[in-house]
Amino acid sequence: MSERDRGSQAGDGNGGAEDDDGERAGILDGVTVVDLSTFVTGGFATTMLANQGAEVIKVERPDVGDDSRHSGPPFVDPGDYDGPGTVANDNGESPYFWTVNYGKRSVELDLKTDAGLAALYDIVEEADVFVENFRPGTADRIGVGYEDIRAVREDVVYCSISAFGDSGPWRERPGYDLLVQGTSGIMSVTGEEDGDPVKVGLPQTDLITAMWAAFGVVCSLFRRELTGEGDRVELAMHDAALPWLTKQAAKAFQGEEPGRMGTRDPVIAPYQAYPTADGYLNVGCANQKLWRELCTAIGREDLFEDDRFATNPDRVDHMDELEAELSETFRERTTDEWVDRLADEAGLPVGPVNTVPEALASEQTEARGVVTELDHPATGRMKALEHPLNFAGAESGFEEAPPLLGEDTEAVLREAGYDDERLAALREAGGIPDR
């Protein structure tokens, strides 16, 4: 939480069913997370925890902050803002940074100084979770390894994220989403059949890893409730991506080599995008009943009677012919016309291939309240993406915008017991910025 309008959040460790006023609270209300990670893997993981009520304290390098604060364009002009915290980028605030840092507090600490490291330990004394995504060995070298943090908070849940993990011949290699999309096999099955390997158009392995990390943290918190013991959660981006191969891995285990298929599916047909008069239509008919209903709804009963398409295995074996037949028919109408006719009237699993702006502005997105707005201290009202979990007995969601760099430094340290004299000494020692 931040100085803007959030006070200190005290938790009672009861799982967050109700707050002090008997109102619904977040499931992780009362859980404090110290986050030393940068970019997406740790950032999105702790954002998931913040969405469920955890207080996330983001520890950042003085005057620089998280590298994603500098990712762009676009950037948003902060205007003449002169409140607590600073804009780390001369170009302005990064909307990319915003998307993985909603609802956190930002503290600037120079961990290369003894004073800065000691201040971190003071904050950790009251923390439940510690997250880092340094290359293996780095955390120990700079004094924030598992044993260092455990010495301060014995029952801490400590999460380590790296590209390739603490063991194995690739342990020392650096890694980013692009590299892991390659090492995990994802790129080999993405793209057109006769084309080059293609990177998924979003940081998929970063986000996959982040979700595993958040899941691991919550599992360890649950175990701590049962045993009173903390734990270390260690995971690698490469490992995290492999279980998502599912059907492609199943084929590989049977001696087959999955390849690129465009929008096609290796085991179901029709299950792909088809061109329409003005765009593309996704069609997913995963059983024989749906196939019959599709043929009837588009006026192509002849396809249902065609021996080449009699069963799903037959259709998979004759995908080229099936695609040609269906493409010819779907080109006769616009995407919206087909969606009205097939999805709304016939109840069939078809849908448009939207652009990102169309997806964010669709009537379904609006009805579900996925896109919301938050008050940013420097840029005013900003759009934000809510997370999808909705509980009957607990609150979830973001109430605060992403923090400016160092916005909460003084407030968090005061909560950790620092008075004016100690804060002045910390500044003098270079642990926090002198501003």
Separation of alpha carbons 195 and 177, rounded Å: 21
Let me know: does 2 contact 409? Beta carbons within 8 Å: no
Confidence band for 2, pLDDT divided at 50, 70 and 90: very low
HSE-CB at 11 with a 13 A cutoff on CA atoms is 20
Beta strands at 371-376 and 380-385: parallel, antiparallel or unpaired? antiparallel
Percent of the chain with pLDDT over 90: 91
Instruction: Tell me the pLDDT tens digit for each residue of 171-184.
Output: 999 999 999 999 99
- Backbone φ and ψ for 263, nearest 5 degrees, come out as -95, 0
In this structure, the number of other CB atoms found within 10 A of the CB of residue 327 comes to 15
Extents of the domains making up the chain:
32-243+369-428, 271-353
Please report the pLDDT score of residue 20 as a whole number: 59
Average pLDDT of the chain is 94
Whether 71 shows a pLDDT value over 80: the answer reads yes
Q: Confirm if 129 and 49 have CB atoms less than 8 A apart.
A: yes
Instruction: Give the percent of the chain with pLDDT over 70.
Output: 95
Is CATH 3.30.1540.10 the classification given to domain 271-353? Answer: yes
Rounded distance between C-alpha atoms, residue 111 and residue 142, angstroms: 8
**Max alpha carbon distance in the chain (Å)?**
85
Per-residue pLDDT averaged across 118-135, rounded? 98
Find out whether 231 and 224 touch, Cβ atoms under 8 Å: yes
> Contact, 258 vs 188, CB < 8 A?
yes
Strand partners, 33: 56, 129
Q: Which option is the CATH number for 32-243+369-428: 3.40.309.10, 3.40.50.300, 3.20.20.80, 3.40.50.10540?
A: 3.40.50.10540
Confidence grade of residue 319 (pLDDT, cut at 50, 70, 90): very high
The residues carrying an active-site annotation are 206
Please say whether the beta carbons of 394 and 27 come within 8 A. Answer: yes
pLDDT score, position 8: 32
Matching fold, domains 32-243+369-428 and 271-353: no
β-partners of residue 272 are 283
Contact status, residue 203 vs residue 40, Cβ threshold 8 Å: yes
Structure tokens at 108: 């600037």
Which among 350, 215, 371 has a CA at the least distance from the CA of 281? 350
Q: What digits encode the pLDDT tens for the residues 323-365? A: 999 999 999 999 999 999 999 999 999 999 999 999 999 999 9
